[in-house]
Amino acid sequence: MTSEDLAKKIWFGSSRMYCLLLPLSAVYAAVTSVRRWLYRKEILKSYRCKVPVVVVGNIMVGGNGKTPVVVAIVNYLRQQGLRVGVVSRGYHSHPPVYPFIVDAGTDTVFSGDEPKLIASHTGVNVYIDPVRSRAAELASQTVDVIVTDDGLQHYALKRDVEIIVIDGKRRLGNGCLFPAGPLREGKWRMSGVDFVINNGGELRNGELSMNLRVTGLLPVADTPAGAPPTGTGVMALAGIGCPERFYDTVKSMGYSVVGTIKAPDHGTVSDEEILEAERKYPLLMTEKDYVKYAGLPLKNSYYVPVEAELPESFYTSLLQKIRAAGTR
């Protein structure tokens, strides 16, 4: 069992091993509480952009579906005539300099997976920098509004709208702070944000519904056009926070998942493993994985693009908040 598998068992299963980690979680809670207090008292300084900032984040370690939400928001705001820039930490990116501007043509070695995916789907520049406030300062020179992919806990950047995306099935796991549980901040944090978006689960306490709609099954690289017939056994690759969600999606499309390729969130596996897998069965992967492997000579591999479906009332309210922030 890998450390990642053990963490999932402790955080989302019935294991009581989390009790052993509670002292470390207490230390984590103390450190993060002091940090928030320092920013609140302005002992640590936060950068205020000259344009509104919308943060799309979560309070749980790992992916919850933030990236499709960012893409949907950016595309909506562009339709309203706004110039939008996206700021991202750029996990697993290796740019030559920070801040680094990613567009649809940037190599994923420099950009990482999510920034490249966002740029490809929206046509806007994505500014990556571990210091998100520095990236936002650069972006604010040419845009009307900034959307940050993650960064809810990056208090060095002031924000005008906060959005939390939660996994509607896993929710908050065992409810404990890291490392005993998956939470970066306590559940209390959800009550102080502008919107809580529930990805595919039962709604609670004013949460907004989001569904990820599959928009097709597209060939990778040298794979001929045309999807495998439904009922076909396939391999599945999902280098995301909750790969089981992708496996369920593949099954809902009418395929049988006969095997999976394990990859860490934002990480990669070897080219040889990818090529070997598709020799046996059609290989289906997430679009986030596709941007990393599109350069391989794959002949039996496909990716599954998805789109976030959100209530129209959400967009209306979000735009009102952004316009109000623009008048400050």
CB-based contact 57:132 (threshold 8 Å): no
Integer Cα distance of 17 and 307 in angstroms = 37
Token representation of residue 92: 């697993």
256: Cβ contacts below 8 Å, ≥ 6 apart? 231, 232, 233, 234
Q: Residue 2 has what pLDDT?
A: 66
Rounded Cα distance, 119 and 115, in Å: 6
pLDDT computed for residue 242 by the predictor? 82
Predicted pLDDT of residue 87: 97
What's the token pair of residue 195?
């919107």
* DSSP-assigned letter for residue 19: G
Q: Tell me how far CA of residue 69 lies from CA of 40, 104, 121, 316, in angstroms.
A: 28, 18, 12, 15
Structure tokens at 131: 């210091």
Q: How far apart are CA 70 and CA 57, in angstroms?
A: 10
pLDDT tens digits in sequence order for the chain, 328 residues long: 566 767 778 898 878 888 999 999 999 999 999 999 999 999 999 999 999 999 999 999 877 889 999 999 999 999 999 999 999 998 888 899 999 999 999 998 899 889 999 999 999 999 999 999 999 999 999 999 999 999 999 999 999 999 999 999 889 999 999 999 999 999 999 999 999 999 988 999 899 999 999 998 999 988 888 889 999 999 999 988 788 889 999 999 999 999 998 887 777 888 899 999 999 999 999 998 998 888 889 999 999 999 999 999 999 999 999 999 987 6
Structure tokens at 180: 């005993």
Q: What does 188-234 look like in DSSP terms, one character per residue?
A: GGGGGSSEEEEESS---TTPEEEEEEE---EE-TTPPSSPPPTT-EE
Amino acid 1: pLDDT: 56
